[in-house]
Every structure is written in C-alpha cells, then in structure tokens.
A and B are shown apart, each in its own frame.
Chain A
Amino acid sequence: MSSTTNSSTHHTSTIGAIGAPSRRNTELALLVFAVVIPVFAYANVGLAINNQVPSGLLSYGLGLGLLAGVAHVVVRKFAPYADPLLLPLATLLNGLGLVIIWRLDQSKLLQSIKQAGSAAPRQLMYTALGIALFIAVLIFLKDHRVLQRYTYISMVGALVLLLLPLVPGLGANIYGAKIWIHIGSFSIQPGEFAKIVLAIFFAGYLMVKRDALALASRRFMGLYLPRGRDLGPILVVWFISILILVFETDLGTSLLFFGMFVIMLYVATERTSWIVFGLLMSGIGAVGVASFEPHVQQRVQAWLDPMKEYTLSQQGVGGHSEQAMQALWAFGSGGTLGSGLGQGHSDLIRFAANSDFILATFGEELGLAGIMALLLIYGLIVERGVRTALAARDPFGKLLAIGLSGAFALQVFVVAGGVMGLIPLTGMTMPFVAYGGSSVIANWALVGILIRISDTARRPAPAPASNPDAEMTQVVRP
C-alpha cells in the first residue's frame, strides 16, 4: 500500500490494491474448529462402543492438530493470501474420515473377516504423506503458471498413468475393476493422480485452442455447431475414456475424465453446444459399452434392482452385489438424525465398508442431517475452487482451477450417487473421507494447487510504484 502519511494529496494507491486482507487468522480459527470436531467424534465413538474415552484420544487429536498446524504455517509463509476455507474444510473431511475408519476398525465383525482392523493408523500415515505433498506443492510450486510449460508432457504422463493398470504384471484386477497397480507391497490407484495431471494438460491445451473451438462454428437451431476438425480433441478424449471403460471396466474413472474435459471445454469456449455434445457422447458410449461388457451390465442390474441382486446373492445363486441394497438399508435405518456415532450396523456391509461405502456409515450414524452437512462441506470446497477460478487473472489458472474443482465435484457425485442408488455404482473413493492412500494423497495435492492458484489470484496487485512518473512527481512536491 502506498504511504498515506505523506502530506501530499497525490498518492498513488489504486483501488484494486486495497481490500484483499490475508485472512490467515480466520483460517487458523476455522482450522482449530476443524480439528476439534473430529476429536469430539472420536470421543463419541469410544464412549458408544467401549463405554470409555478412547485411550488414543490425545495422541490422535495431537496428530491431526500437528498436521493441520504445520500445513497452516506453510500456507502462512508461502501462500499468505490463499483462500481461508480450503485447508480447514479438507482437514475436517480428512479427520471425520479417520474417525469413521477407526470406528469400523472396532467392529468385531469386520475384524473377524479381515476386512478392517488397523486401517485407521495407516490412513493417518497416508494423511501425513498427503499433507507432506500439499506442503511440497506450496513450497516448490511458486507460481502455477509454471505448469503451463508442461502441457504436453502432462498429456503423456496422464496417458501413461491411465494405462498403467493395463500393463500385465503391474496392474491388478481387484473385484472386477482394473484400476490398481502393485509396486512391492503397495497398491496404487494411478487414476487419482492422473486426474490432476490431466487437468494441467486440458488447461494448457484449451487455453491455446479455445478461440478456434469457440469462434469457428456455424449456428444451427440455437446451437453453435463446431467445425468437423475441431471435434477432434473431444473425440480423442471420448475414445480414451471409452477405452478405460472397456479395458479397466471402471465407469467412474471414465466418467470423471470425460466430464472434466467437457466442463473445461465449456468454460473455455462459453458454448453450450459442447455440453450437449458431451452428454450425447457419454450417453452413447455408456449404453454402447454396457451392451457388451458383462461387468458394466452387472453394475447396471444392481442399480436397477438392488433387492433382486441381494436376494440372489443371499441364496448363493448368482447375484453380484449385495452391497447396493445394504447401503440403502443403512441410509434408511439412519433416518433424519442418525443412530449416533458408533451405534449403527453399517459394518454389515462387509466388503469395502470403509472405502467405497463409507458414506453409508455416515448416513446411518449421522443421518440425513449429517450427510447433508458432509455434502455441503464438499460443496463448499468446490465453491471455493470455482471462486478461485473466477478471481484468477490468467486464463490458464482459471481453467486449471475449474478443472480441478470440477473433477473433485464429479468424483463426489459419482461416489455419492453410486452409494445412494442414483447412478450405477462404481469403484471410486470419496475424496478425503474414504480409506485409501492414493486418494488422500492425490486430493491433498489437488487442494495444494488450488491454494496456490487462489494465493496468486487474491494477492493484491503490487502498489504502482512501477509508475516512475508518479514517484518523481512526489519527490519534487514541497
């Protein structure tokens, strides 16, 4: 800010430079709140299940608090003008996820079938890794525009990441979907990281091509029809996402990438026709693949008639997924206010109770009220991402922020919609909440990039001391 102590009336602060306070203290207060809530939940679970405050309460609270505190200090130092809400919201989701995973660890039933047991400590470790990556992003990525240089490298990187699970010997077919790779004793879901890398590619690519995609078009029935050759990119992305659907049999990943591209294309060109095309193409693709791919057919069957699948599965005659029905029961028995933390029976969803179906536990134990709050928190993260995109001053930052938040929103929609029976179930993870290393780590990196963009976007413009004229005038003045 320019000095106003000068008696001269001729000072040079522009209006834009005023009014963007750093908001770090707000963030700290919210962060404390966001750590206290999971600790409360943790105590609540312990009291409900074991009749005592869990012994790990202090260490768990300190652990989460420490991680959040370190992240906050780094944001304060390296991104002082960043959005004050992103970090607390992500921390709260991560903390709540840890509590629910720990709660499912306590289930005797899940322990007996080895579906859970010590997932919470591992998830805490993944959280630490995720926050470490978040910090690394903030420290080493001084300016998000640097990423623009790696547009085409990102494209290659994303393709490699997406296709890795198909490499024989490396990829693993876990429960019908080939989206994991094994390295040593770790299994990684490269798709989670591909999401970020692909957003960088799309942002860089669309920034250069958007004029061609937006302007060269004919008007037909109120829609701008793009030229045939401009359809190339969307066709290529569509084709790749179909390939993913066919060979990795994962509807979620496929939908996520295609959806992200359509969103970014729409934002870059402001042409509604792209959305129409996108919906048409994804509809054609999904129906087409579902007509010959048995795994996808099973998922659709379980979605259309979960009860039938459940009965068949109970009788041991076919039936592929009893969980879809179990998840619905969990939501139903939760009702409006839920059964209370630690007092539900969502552990009856034996398989993947703490990963894909963790939302069912939330629904049962916190009820509709809790689920709504949870979804609102996701919504707020997306809102802050979109807000960052609006505030960003460079087109690349805008597109990247919209792409990342769009992908985040789509992922939440695909998982929540699948578990609640709105769309066919797919094997994706609820960001931050569900058990899974790749997901937590990748999403912390995503939030890191959003925070970096928002810091650049909200940083007040430098005081126009760059105007040498004005400075000289001030010196001469008596």
Chain B
Amino acid sequence: MSELTLTVMRLGFLAVLWLFVIVAVQVIRSDLFGTRVTQRGARREAARPQQAAARQQSAAPPPQRGQQGGQGGRRGRNAPTKLVVSEGTLTGTTVALQGQTISLGRAHDSTIVLDDDYASSRHARIYPDRDGQWIVEDLGSTNGTYLDRNRLTTPTPIPLGAPIRIGKTVIELRK
C-alpha cells in the first residue's frame, strides 16, 4: 500500500473520529431541554406544532374568534398574555397564557410546581372560560387561595394585575 494512501487514511480517520464527536455535541445542543422552568422560557414556536395550534385557538386572529361565537373581541386589547410569579421561591417565573389550563400545586405534573410548604399538591388552577376571561379556581386546598385579600370559594374571574396568593407564593396576570 502506498505511503500516500496510508497517510490519507490516517488523516481521514482522525477527521471522521472528530466529526463523530462534533455531531454528538450538536445532538447534545439540540437536545438541551432543561427543567420545566427553563423550558417555558426557551420555548420556540416553530419546533412545537401542538403549541402553535394551541396558540391559534386562543390568541387567534378575529375570524376564528367569530366562529367561536363572536365574543372576546371586546376585551381583546386588555387580555393578559402572561402569568408572572411575583413572590415566593419561584419569583420571576413567567408562563405564557395560550388558552391552556395552568395547574398550581406541589404535585410534580403541575404546570407550576410550587416548592411551598403551605401549598397543597393540587392547589388551584387557572383557566380561560368560553369568553377568554381567565378564571382562578381553588381545588379544595388546605390553606386556601386568596385573590386580593379574599379567600376563594367559587371560581372567580381574575382582574389584570390582581395578586393571587397561594401560601408564600404570589402570582398575577399581566399583559
């Protein structure tokens, strides 16, 4: 075998070996999905078809709203777009509101997992009603859910910016 061929093979092999390492690192890069909190922040629309579909339904253009009964147009401008945790261990966490139900509690499958000794495992949930108005409902928690200073007994609409207190955690809806 000629010297040249062997040299080419030698360098070629090293190149292929390094190519593998680089490809592997690229896979890691594309694979970075972290804990739930970071995932919310780093979400990309294009990559997530379900999410995009969900978005179309809630914050959708007027024609689709029309199909749903023509409501919602009135308060479209004032509709909250995100839920912000303003006090407690999760301070700073935001969740985009896209028509999905947001569950709050210490249970691991909650949308916002509260690390709060005063919260129940399924404490409360926040969901949009038919008109697109966001409602907070206490799910029979031990210590209760407070909107402003009132303990919730029934599902209640959430005004923009009103603090919802669960244990030591305070969340509010913002535009």
Contacts and interface: CB of A to CB of B under 8 A. Distances in A.
Interface of A: 1, 4, 7, 9-16, 18-20, 23, 26, 30, 33-34, 37, 40-41, 44, 47-48, 51, 84-85, 88-89, 92, 337-341, 343, 366-367, 369-370, 373-374, 376-377, 380, 383-384, 387, 393, 461-462, 464, 466-467, 469-470, 477
Which range contains the number of B residues in contact with the other chain? Answer: 35 or more
B25 interface: yes
Nearest to B56: A4
B33 to A, nearest CB: 5
B141 interface: no
Contact of B110 (A7, A14, A30, A34): A14
B6 interface: yes
B73 to A, nearest CB: 14
Contacts of B33: 19-20
B16 A14 contact: no
B39 A15 contact: yes
Interface stretch (B124-132, B142-150, B157-165, B166-174): B124-132
Contact of A13 (B5, B10, B100, B127): B100
B1 A84 contact: no
A36 B7 CA distance: 19
13 contacts: A10-B129, A11-B100, A14-B101, A14-B109, A15-B36, A18-B48, A19-B33, A26-B27, A37-B16, A85-B27, A338-B14, A380-B25, A461-B109
A12 B100 contact: yes
Nearest to B9: A44
Contacts of B40: 15
A461 B39 CA distance: 14
A57 to B, nearest CB: 14
Contacts of B108: 393, 461
A340 B6 contact: yes
Nearest to B15: A369
A459 to B, nearest CB: 12
A37 B13 CA distance: 8
B111 A37 contact: no
Contact of A462 (B7, B20, B109, B127): B109
B6 A367 contact: no
A422 B31 CA distance: 34
Given A44-B6, A85-B24, A92-B20, 4 more contacts: A18-B51, A37-B16, A341-B13, A377-B24
Contact of A48 (B1, B12, B125): B1
B1 A47 contact: yes
Contacts of B9: 44, 47-48, 340-341
5 smallest CB-CB distances across A and B, nearest first, come from: A340-B10, A9-B99, A4-B53, A461-B109, A373-B17
Given A37-B16, A366-B13, A15 B50 contact: no
A340 B7 contact: yes
A15 B130 CA distance: 21
B58 interface: yes
B103 interface: yes
A468 B28 CA distance: 37
Given A16-B111, A338-B14, A341-B13, A84 B27 contact: yes
A163 to B, nearest CB: 39
Interface in B98-117: 99-103, 108-111
Given A10-B128, A13-B50, A85-B24, A47 B6 contact: yes
Interface string B28-50: 10010100100110010001101
Contacts of A467: 103, 122
Interface in B48-102: 48, 50-51, 53-54, 57-58, 67-68, 95, 99-102
Given A10-B128, A85-B28, A15 B111 contact: yes
Contact of A14 (B20, B58, B68, B100): B100
